[in-house]
Amino acid sequence: METTILKLGGSVITDKDSPETVDDASLNSVLDAVATTSDTDGRLVVVHGGGSFGHVHAAEHGVSTTDGTHEAAAANQIHAAMKRLNRQVVDRLHDRGVEALPVHPLSVAARDERGKLSLPATAAAGLLDEDFVPVLHGDVIVHAGEGLTVLSGDEIVTSLADSLNANRVGLCSTVPGVLDEDDAVIEEIRSFKDVESVLGASESTDVSGGMAGKVRELLSLGAPAHIFGPEAVEAFLDGDDPGTRIDGR
């Protein structure tokens, strides 16, 4: 049976300009698409970003993917905000008949001194085997020597694609794909050289948001990935190739 990972960008499902505010119309529309296709045979994992829930608190406490905090209460504010957003996603999936359950990365994952992520997929894999839809999210996690740092939704996708042997990965963002010089969607990327002139070197971008780093990560996966806009979630879940197809295999 096929395993699909769908990442919903924080900017898609929240109003980034307003603290802890869900973008109702946009979230409902992508979850409708999930519900429409979820009665098919496949196994689905949903991962969502932080948007205006996580980022506000993370910025307030100066916590990023590399700079940590040893203050448990500060970290737990970020974590609790992300759980509130996750609860909204999970509850709205239940409203649509999708058997979703929350999986909170702080409970599962850790980084070593070099920042390398371990995220055992025991619970997520078990939930998939029982026909549930695990819903993960960007979070704070323990980081050796740093206390707690941010784990981005994109890092979760990369880790789970590997540990769950995913067949397809979809990243729903606010743009309809990776854009070229003329803002047209690039249909396919097979190597980073194809797009280096457009995206620039990946070193200059941040871990959580930069498109160059994202493309490089997705090229390293053992499965094809797609980057597309909110209107294309249903097409992606139906097996089509919307947006930009990224396949470095």
The CB-of-134 to a copy of itself minimum distance in angstroms stands at 9
Of positions 56, 123, 175, 179, contacts a copy of itself by CB under 8 A:
123
> Is residue 127 a contact point for a copy of itself (CB under 8 A)?
yes
Q: Which stretch binds a copy of itself (CB under 8 A): 146-154, 174-182, 204-212, 214-222?
A: 146-154
Q: Which stretch binds a copy of itself (CB under 8 A): 122-130, 157-165, 167-175, 216-224?
A: 122-130
Of positions 35, 142, 185, 235, contacts a copy of itself by CB under 8 A:
142
DSSP states of the chain as a string? --EEEEEE-HHHHB-TTSTT-B-HHHHHHHHHHHHHHTTSS-EEEEEE--HHHHHHHHHHTT--SSS-B--HHHHHHHHHHHHHHHHHHHHHHHHTT--EEE--GGGT-EE-TT--EE---HHHHHHHHTT-EEEEE-EEEEETTTEEEEE-HHHHHHHHHHHTT-SEEEEE-SSSS-B-TTSPBP-EESSGGGTHHHH--GGGS-TTT-HHHHHHHHHTSSS-EEEE-GGGHHHHHTT---SEEE---
The CB-of-193 to a copy of itself minimum distance in angstroms stands at 36
- Segment 86 to 115, residues that bind a copy of itself, using CB under 8 A: 87, 90, 94, 98-111
| Identity of the residue, 16 or 104, whose beta carbon is nearer to a copy of itself in the bound complex | 104
Q: Which stretch binds a copy of itself (CB under 8 A): 31-39, 142-150, 164-172, 218-226?
A: 142-150
- Segment 55 to 74, residues that bind a copy of itself, using CB under 8 A: 70-73
| Identity of the residue, 55 or 111, whose beta carbon is nearer to a copy of itself in the bound complex | 111
Enumerate the β-bridge partners of residue 102. 135
Contact residues toward a copy of itself (CB under 8 A) are: 70-73, 75-76, 79-80, 83, 87, 90, 94, 98-111, 118-120, 122-123, 125-127, 129-133, 141-148
